[in-house]
Structure 1
Amino acid sequence: MNHLGDVKLRTWTLRFMALLAADTQDQLAWLGERELETEDVAEEVELLCRISEGLTERGAFDPTDLHHLRAIGRRLGEIDAACRVGLWANALATDPAWDDIRSLSRTFLLANLGDWRQPLPRPVRPETGDG
């Protein structure tokens, strides 16, 4: 791993996987009052899974890690468009696909870091429009 950008992308991937691996109650607490769309979460995960190919080629992840990330991407790809509409908080409570993604994310973190329990990323503050 020789690119500063690779380090940042690896770190972001690990942090986002920590969020996906967290218990539902912790995910909902992390969300707080934020109205994060399911489609936005799905797109972020899909992006991270896609860039993991290049990160693995450059040594930021092991091939085993890539295998786990591909499994997460495949499971996410099985969620139909109708289930991607609406708030992620609602999807966490109603769509069993997120339980599968939670389990796959935990497996990834166990293989990569030795424990799936990791600090959650700091939430991005919602824009207030007070620019």
Structure 2
Amino acid sequence: MDPNDKHWRTWTLRFLALLAADLPEQQAWLGERRLTVQTAVEEAEFACSIAEGLTGRAVFTPGHLRTLQAIARRTSALDATARTTRWADSLAADPAWDDVRTLARGFLHTLPDDRPLPLPRRIPPNPGDWST
């Protein structure tokens, strides 16, 4: 596998691991970061575009791509008001995240190496993520 393909496959799987995690794990991972739902929507759309290229190079299957497209559609359907909400708060309040969690888990269970994936490494908070 091409090193770039491997990098983007890993990135996609780590993002899906976050989406698939149980609610308390998701909230703990997000912590006090001020990431909004809009961030999640953009990341889902980005993962979908990555998967399109990776599917063309047989890294993912067309079924994987369809699942990522379903996740992107589900997050894109969140209304404009919800997009300004902190992602960690929205996870418990909006049932759309239950659908996303189920879709992400289904994606991960179709991988040949079906083992639990760790959540992505936490990135230290960016001062721009904090309200002043």
| Equivalence for 1:114 | 114
Counterpart position of 1:22: 21
How far apart, CA to CA, are the structure 1 residues paired with 2:21 and 2:30?
12
Which amino acid in structure 1 is aligned with residue 114 of structure 2?
A: G
Of stretches 62-71 and 17-26 in structure 1, the one that deviates more from structure 2 is 62-71
Matched residues, number = 127
The farther-off stretch of 11-20 and 29-38 is 29-38
Which consecutive residues of structure 2, in runs of 5 or more, have no partner in the other structure? none
> Mapping of 1:1-131 within 5 angstroms?
1-2=1-2, 4-112=3-111, 113-115=113-115, 117-128=116-127
5+ unaligned residues in a row in structure 1: which ranges?
none
Name whichever of 35-44 and 120-129 sits farther off.
Answer: 120-129
Which ranges of 4 or more aligned residues in structure 1 deviate by more than 4 Å?
none
Q: What amino acid sits opposite 1:114 in the alignment?
A: D
TM-score between both structures, scaled by the size of structure 1: 0.89
TM-score (norm 2): 0.88
> Identity across aligned pairs (percent)?
51
Tell me the C-alpha RMSD between the 2 structures.
1.5
Structure 1 residue 128, shift from structure 2 partner: 4.6
